[in-house]
């Protein structure tokens, strides 16, 4: 879906004509006029994003952009990147695709941002994907595990960030297969591409006939009694969840009311322990989430130097907001953009920014370096297994790389913290 504001291809043709006309124009000093790069001045770089600051997805996810903004404030206080401060324009789309279309059009055409960074959500970002491609706007580090973003031939300016849903499903299923051999494995997922992608990953490892029961729910649901009742009746011993945090807590809490305690294996989008404590309460969470298994690819453990830095930034520049996995996600995305901006050169353009991401030089700050290239615009394909023990959520030493449904155990290779977490040009 493209914005109704204008026909992008016609605009591109007019822009090309304007370039030809201007090529013969000279400034008073006799030098050729050069068109300014959108969003770039002598001392600032302006980028934008669409985020659910209100609406059904606001709980938890509204913290992402706040954390990114806090990280940029930290970078700006340290002198910025190549002498430029980063201005981050955050617009609320309420997780409504039509509103996403409107705010992204404003960011590109009115605010003239250099790039869109970390637009959140598959249904929302999908409606602006073609528009941003037609306009040539760098569409960086999309906050979704959909595989749609990783199509360089169709979308040369789009880059994913999150591990794909299929990757997480395959990793969770592989861990269940190794640690719970013979257990009845079941799946509960959102009735959309999130749940479908996770299920696809589980099936790639276990095979469809090896899944004991599959249940789904709509994001508008307020009760999971029926779904959990079916899973319990099926004798499920390991429940793999493609749920966001609120529904993870609802599933676990509903099972507890049924006096049922299966093993919980949860995707990264719904396994943030601090957030789940907020939903369940400390006492219930400590009891019900002990032993919970999940996947992640970003720093979060109590001994991580990145976690220590992000906690400091959170206190100084984010008003001491609750520190959760979404805080880490927001700041990690901010770091990656700063890294890309530094690599884009002293005078960044949209073209040099995209080239910097495709160069393969960006590492990010995850448990393994990122592997962007001209042919790979995906995010993390390697994830680590985390468990909750005595109320502490941390990596347990098992790390998987997932490629076309094939899961291979590998060694983690965490990216070290250098230069105070501010990329140098």
Q: Examine the pLDDT at 14 and tell me if it is beyond 80.
A: no
| Alpha-carbon distances of 107 from 57, 126, 137, 394, rounded to whole Å | 21, 16, 11, 38
Closest-CA residue to 36 (of 28, 103, 27): 27
Beta bridge pairs of residue 40: 45
**Residues pairing with 90 in the sheet:** 49
Residue 5 class from Cβ within 10 Å (0-12 exposed, 13-18 middle, 19+ buried)?
middle
Global pTM reads 0.87
Q: Assess contact for 275 and 246: CB atoms under 8 A.
A: no
The DSSP 8-state label assigned to residue 393 in this structure reads E
Nearest to 217 by CA among 238, 193, 192, 240: 192
**pLDDT score recorded for residue 424:** 87
pLDDT at 300 over 90: no
CB 364 within 8 A of CB 337: no
* Pairwise CA distance, residues 159 & 118, whole Å: 9
Please give the residue that has the higher pLDDT: either 11 or 102: 102
With 0-12 / 13-18 / 19 or more C-beta atoms within 10 angstroms meaning exposed / middle / buried, residue 21 is exposed
Distance CA 326, CA 298 (A): 10
pLDDT in tens, 39-60: 999 999 999 999 999 987 887 7
Q: Is the pLDDT of residue 33 over 90?
A: no
- Write out pLDDT tens, residues 221-257: 999 999 999 999 999 999 999 998 999 999 999 999 9
pLDDT, one tens digit per residue, over 162-201 is: 999 999 999 999 999 999 999 999 999 999 889 999 999 9
The model's confidence at residue 35, banded by pLDDT at 50, 70 and 90, is low
Burial class (CB in 10 A: 0-12, 13-18, 19+), 357: buried
**What number of helices (H) and strands (E) belong to the chain?**
14, 13
Quick check: 116 and 107 in contact, CB under 8 A? yes
pLDDT at 31 over 70: no
**What's the CA gap between 39 and 19, in Å, rounded?**
19
DSSP 143: B
For residue 265, list its beta bridge partners. Answer: 240, 293
Q: What domains, with CATH codes, occur in the chain?
A: 8-19+36-163+304-380 (3.40.50.2300), 165-296+385-410 (3.40.50.2300)
Instruction: Fill in the DSSP letter of residue 109.
Output: I
- Average pLDDT score over residue span 140-153: 95
For 59, how many CA atoms within 13 A lie in the half-sphere containing its CB? 12
Residues in the chain: 425
For the segment 84-112, what is each residue's pLDDT rounded down to a tens digit?
999 999 999 999 999 999 999 999 999 99
Band (pLDDT 50/70/90 cuts) for residue 348 is very high
Q: In the predicted model, what is the mean pLDDT of residues 150-162?
A: 97
- Write out pLDDT tens, residues 279-294: 999 999 999 999 999 9
Q: What pLDDT was estimated at residue 302?
A: 77
Q: What single-letter DSSP state applies at residue 161? A: -
Following CA atoms 242, 243, 245, 250 in sequence, which dihedral angle do they give, to the nearest 10 degrees? -130
Residue 127, Cβ neighbours under 10 Å: how many?
Answer: 19
Cα(304)–Cα(64) distance, rounded to whole angstroms? 20
Give the contacts of 302 (CB within 8 A, at least 6 positions apart). 392, 394
Residues 315, 321, 326, 330: what is their CA dihedral angle, to the nearest 10 degrees? -50
Under a CB-based contact definition with an 8 Å cutoff, are residues 86 and 45 in contact?
yes
At 27, the pLDDT band (50, 70, 90 cuts) reads very low
Question: Cα Rg for the chain, rounded, in angstroms?
Answer: 22
């Amino acid at each position: 879906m493209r914005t109704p504001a204008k026909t992008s291809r016609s605009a591109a043709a007019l822009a090309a004509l304007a370039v030809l006309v201007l090529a013969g124009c000279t400034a008073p000093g006799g030098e050729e006029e050069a068109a300014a790069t959108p969003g770039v001045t002598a001392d600032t770089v302006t980028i934008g994003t669409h985020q659910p600051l209100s609406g059904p997805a606001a709980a938890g996810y509204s913290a992402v952009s706040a954390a990114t903004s806090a990280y940029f404030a930290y970078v700006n206080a340290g002198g910025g990147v190549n002498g430029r401060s980063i201005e981050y324009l955050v617009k609320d789309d309420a997780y409504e695709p039509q509103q996403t279309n409107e705010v992204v059009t404003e960011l590109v055409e009115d605010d003239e941002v250099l790039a869109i960074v970390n637009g959140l959500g598959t249904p929302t970002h999908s409606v602006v994907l073609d528009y941003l491609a037609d306009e040539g706007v760098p569409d960086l580090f999309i906050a979704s595990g959909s595989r749609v973003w990783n199509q360089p031939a169709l979308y040369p300016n789009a880059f994913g960030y999150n591990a794909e849903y299929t990757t997480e499903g395959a990793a969770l299923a592989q861990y269940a297969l190794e640690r719970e051999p013979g257990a009845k494995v079941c799946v509960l997922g959102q009735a959309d591409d999130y749940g479908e992608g996770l299920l696809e990953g589980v099936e790639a490892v276990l095979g469809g006939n090896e899944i004991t029961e599959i249940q789904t729910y709509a994001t508008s649901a307020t009760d999971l009694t029926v779904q959990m009742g079916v899973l319990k009746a099926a004798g499920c011993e390991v429940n793999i969840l493609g749920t966001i945090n609120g529904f993870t807590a609802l599933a676990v809490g509903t099972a507890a009311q049924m006096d049922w305690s299966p093993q919980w294996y949860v995707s990264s989008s719904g396994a943030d322990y601090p957030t789940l404590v907020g939903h369940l309460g400390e006492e219930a969470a400590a009891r019900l989430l002990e032993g919970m298994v999940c996947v992640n690819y970003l720093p979060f453990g109590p001994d991580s130097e990145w976690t220590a830095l992000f906690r400091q930034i959170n206190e100084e520049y984010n008003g001491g907001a609750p520190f959760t996995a979404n805080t880490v996600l927001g700041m990690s995305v901010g770091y990656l953009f700063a890294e890309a901006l530094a690599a884009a050169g002293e005078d960044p353009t949209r073209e040099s920014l995209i080239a910097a991401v495709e160069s393969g030089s960006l590492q990010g700050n995850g448990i393994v370096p990122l592997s962007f290239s001209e042919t790979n615009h995906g995010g993390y394909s390697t994830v680590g297994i985390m468990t909750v023990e005595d109320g502490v959520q941390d990596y347990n030493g098992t790390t998987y790389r997932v490629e076309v449904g094939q899961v291979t155990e590998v060694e983690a290779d965490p990216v070290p913290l250098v230069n105070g977490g501010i990329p140098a040009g």
